[in-house]
Amino acid sequence: MKLEQLRSFEAIARVGHFTRAAEQLYLAQPSLSRQIAALEADLGVSLFHRGPSGATLTTAGELLLPIARRMLGDAETAREQMNELTGLRRGRIRLGAPPTLCVSLVADVLAAFRSAHPGVELHITEGGSRSLVDALNESALDLALVVTRGPDPAVHGTELIPLLTEELVVVSAAEMPWREEITLEELANIPQVAFNRSYELRMSTEAAFSARGLEPLIAVEGAEMDAVLRFVERGLGVAVVPAMVVIGRPGLRSARLVSPSLSRTVNLARRHDIAPSAATAAMQEFVFSTVDRLAAPGTELARLVTPTRRR
């Protein structure tokens, strides 16, 4: 199999049409068709169902697609490693993270990294932790920050480095009367702004209420992270969010959630079967240093965040 054949195969699978794939790859369609025919002959299987409305993957094509994407990603990684021998004056980092981390930890990491290495392109993918791990294993990402619960996180095929344990807090508008702590039972009777159900944070808080036989009072349901924070600032309700989200937001105030307290572990995820490129290794160090700075004694987060990375 040749890389140009796999690149053509992946493009057709992505757009579902030979002509549009040829246009994206700046190839004549006959050349693209010959590449696919040669690939199918080499493998001894048909990869596409061809029809007047386009092309769809056969069972063999569906099996090949994640492998092809991983091989193309590995080839791109090799190419970038050669480029980065010049000293990180160019290159690319593809970092994935859940929305709850993109508005907190990731923003600080990227600002520091960009200042030190302005020539390196930064590509950010937001998503759930499970989908980010899948993308990492398909070489669609270089690194990911993912959230787990419990002391010993483990994800098949991926190395997880626990960075910190972060408490969940209850946030309200800054001008509202509030207190230092609130129990889960008390929280259930306060109008809440609830996240979209695609958020793992929403599911974990609902599980905590259910375990206590409680039914939360929902004022607004189905919002994304930015909207949740804006609605809370406008006094529409309170919300349960990770502690780091509150930093730098004067329109919000927070209370610790107790009886029970809820927390999550933030991990750096990376593939253990590929040596990191120079840019990836540098990004890892910026993640580590940013976590150390945010959780240092005397900081606003020190009582709500516990570093867990082994030194």
d(CA 304, CA 288): 18
With the CA atoms of 215, 218, 224 and 226 taken in that order, what torsion angle do they form, in degrees rounded to the nearest 10?
Answer: -120
User: Residue holding tokens 């009777």?
Assistant: 189
pLDDT of 155 above 90 = no
The 3-class secondary structure across the chain, one letter per residue, is CCHHHHHHHHHHHHHCCHHHHHHHHCCCHHHHHHHHHHHHHHHCCCCEEEECCEEEECHHHHHHHHHHHHHHHHHHHHHHHHHHHHCCCCEEEEEEECHHHHCCHHHHHHHHHHHHCCCEEEEEEECCHHHHHHHHHCCCCCEEEEEECCCCCCECCEEEEEEEEEEEEEEEECCCCCCCEEEHHHHCCCCEEEECCCCHHHHHHHHHHHHCCCCCCEEEEEECHHHHHHHHHCCCCEEEEEHHHHCCCCCEEEEEEECCCCEEEEEEEECCCCCCCHHHHHHHHHHHHHHHHHCCCCCCCCCCEEECCCC
Instruction: Indicate the domain borders of the chain.
Output: 3-81, 88-163+265-299, 165-263
* Topology of the domain comprising 165-263: D-Maltodextrin-Binding Protein; domain 2 (3.40.190)
Joined together, the tokens standing for residue 99 give 């929305």
Contact residues for 235 (Cβ-Cβ < 8 A; gap 6+): 173, 175, 176
Least confident of 81-95, 109-123, 221-235, 276-290: 81-95
Residue 58: predicted pLDDT: 96
Q: Compute the mean pLDDT over every residue in the chain, rounded to the nearest whole number.
A: 89
Q: What is the dihedral of CA 97, 103, 104, 108, to 10 degrees?
A: 90
- Which residue carries 């109008």 as its tokens? 191
Q: What is the pLDDT of residue 148?
A: 87
Instruction: List, for residues 21-74, the tens digit of each pLDDT value.
Output: 999 998 899 999 999 999 999 999 999 999 988 999 999 999 999 999 999 998
Handedness of CA 7, 10, 12, 14 (dihedral sign): negative
- pLDDT band for 277, please (50, 70, 90 cuts): confident
Q: How far apart are CA 183 and CA 198, in angstroms?
A: 25
- Band (pLDDT 50/70/90 cuts) for residue 310 is low
Q: Is the pLDDT of residue 150 over 70?
A: no
Instruction: Name the architecture of domain 88-163+265-299.
Output: 3-Layer(aba) Sandwich (3.40)
Section 77-100 average pLDDT: 79
Is the pLDDT assigned to residue 152 strictly greater than 60?
no
User: Could you give the CA distance from residue 64 to residue 57 in angstroms, rounded to a whole number?
Assistant: 10
pLDDT at 278 over 90: no
Domain 3-81: assigned CATH number:
1.10.10.10
More reliable by pLDDT, 247 or 194: 194
- Asked whether residue 264 carries a pLDDT value surpassing 60, the answer given is yes
At residue 270, does pLDDT exceed 60?
yes
Distance of CA 244 to the CA centre of its chain: 16
Q: How many CB atoms lie within 10 A of CB 78?
A: 11
Q: What is the pLDDT of residue 169?
A: 93
pLDDT confidence of residue 191: 95
Q: What is the mean pLDDT of residues 84-97?
A: 79
- The C-alpha atoms of residue 60 and residue 43 are separated, in whole angstroms, by 10
Residue 72 has what pLDDT? 93
Q: Do domains 88-163+265-299 and 165-263 have the same CATH topology?
A: yes
Instruction: Return d(Cα 168, Cα 239) in angstroms, integer.
Output: 10
Tell me the pTM.
0.69
